[in-house]
Amino acid sequence: MARPSHPAPGRWRRPAPPSAPLRPGGRFGGAAAGVRGAERGRIGAARSGAVRGGGVRAGKGSGGCSMAEPPGAPHRTTGSTLLHPLSGLLGIPLDQINFVACQLFALLAAFWFRIYLGPSHASSAVRHAFATLFGIYFAVFCFGWYSIHLFVLVMMNYGIMNMASIPNIHSPLMIITQKITTLACQLHDGIGRQAEELTAEQNRLAVKSRPSLLEYLSYLLNFMSIIAGPCSNYKDYIAFIEGRHVHMKLLEVNWKQKGYDRLPDPSPTGAVMYKLCITLVSLILFLTLTKSFPMAYIIDNEFLDKTPFLSRLGYLYVVTQAAKPKYYFAWTLADAVNNAAGYGFSGVDERGSFRWDLLSNLNIWNIETATSFKMYIENWNIQTAAWLKRVCYDRAPWYPTALTFILSALWHGIYPGYYFTFLTGILITLAARAIRNNCRRYFLSSVPLKIAYDAVTWVVTQLAVCYTVAPFVMLAVEPTIKFYKSMYFHMHILSILVLLVLPIRPQSHPTRKAQNQAVLNSVKSKDK
């Protein structure tokens, strides 16, 4: 596959941002908090974005995939300059060095937190206070005086939450994102709505009383998630601090039938070590591949003139793959930090193994083997997808898919590339759904047909994702239009043709009453 002899024009390049999440299906952002220089001014709202999406960016939500940083770019940051010599030695922007340093320190603090400040050794108030103070320190270390924006927003919204009327408590808090809106909506469900109005999940997560100031600050600013997330449900976090988190999950299993005379004591050490291995491999790939295959090449004039269309498609896949390791690194490290503190236990799988993926933000195997746009979306930036579903998709009165994509675009920020990506995502999602609903059943009658179907849909899915997220990386209008012109707008055209030709089956969503009744019937049948 041809590769241009020189990089794309410098004007399309930008310093490697902290976060550049490839988040298909409304969640392309949120890869790492603390690494975006150009958007540092937005760090306050980003606490729910960079911090929230679980991403490495100091921008709102998470940024777009960064292109190669120009040689000699200044390593500036509003945060601490203590590690500036290391930044110069490695040639990595100082804000990214600060981010990694904080996460590694958080990992060590998390082990200490679990061992010496566990629920059996310290009160909930002490655990809340420690988690909050360390989180505040990390925010100041990474973002300096810009973190004031974050703290002001947090306190303003605490005032709103305690002074607003119950029917309206969730609305004004939507200006911050993920954690605040998650808590706001769940508090609204628990206090302002009747149980029969809620889905089974909303009932389970509903918060019945306003949190204290310490609980609120600990949930939003704890050291485990303030830099790179992920977002978690308020009730899960409080159960973790109070020491009920693991116990609640263990009670879902009949241990006496398995030969246990008491509940086991799951250790996260194995899960943490495994995730740190993934983190190390991702870091190595980032340092070798990501900088060698910048996305800017795909709009280089010489490359466009001399490379056939199919080769350009292949190279698009390569550069998109090369951009992923930094997200894998940021999200997996964030997951490991939470696990090291004892947070993230999700129960026991069918083989009897303990699972520590309650807060996991991605499933790499399912991403790389996805045979549908939906499957890819569901396994990339998982916690942000869950947030979008809970605060938008499940609550939207009409057009939930389109509104969810639009909310995700707004959450990311103001760059035009975000809107190109998410509007394209709406079109491709609807087309992919129509193809799957109308065609898939014809390929399930034999193994060879199913294998052929999976092979074709894998190729199409991977290329569709690359096509969709490219504007997210480029950010600006001109390079985006240039890219889509070079691709002949083929995915847009194919998606429109599919929607015009294939019938679209309306999605039937069971009513909340029906969902709750089904849960009730299930419980009754178990009791019998």
Tokens 């960064």: give the residue: 66
- Structure token digits, residue 357: 């993926």
Q: Which of 188, 381, 516, 521 is catalytic?
A: 381
CB 337 within 8 A of CB 110: yes
Q: Taking the C-alpha atoms of 359, 364, 370 and 376 in order, what is their torsion angle to the nearest 10 degrees?
A: 40
352 in the Ramachandran plot: left (φ > 0), alpha (ψ -120 to 50) or beta? Answer: left
Task: Give the count of beta carbons closer than 10 Å to the beta carbon of residue 11.
Answer: 10
Active-site residue flag, 381:
yes
- Structure token digits, residue 207: 């918060």
Task: Give the count of beta carbons closer than 10 Å to the beta carbon of residue 259.
Answer: 6
201's CB contacts (< 8 A; 6+ apart) are: 390, 394
User: Distance (Å, rounded) from C-alpha 235 to C-alpha 249?
Assistant: 13
Tokens 């490697």: give the residue: 16
User: Distance (Å, rounded) from C-alpha 120 to C-alpha 104?
Assistant: 25
263's CB contacts (< 8 A; 6+ apart) are: 247, 250, 251, 255
Cα 230 to its chain centre, rounded Å, is: 7
Length of the chain: 528
How many helices (DSSP H) and strands (DSSP E) are in the chain? 23, 2
Q: Which of 75, 412, 492, 516 is catalytic?
A: 412
User: Distance (Å, rounded) from C-alpha 79 to C-alpha 239?
Assistant: 33
The dihedrals phi and psi of 508, each to the nearest 5 degrees, come to: -95, 120
Active-site residue flag, 366:
no
| Residue type at 185 in one-letter notation | C
Catalytic positions, written as ranges: 381, 412
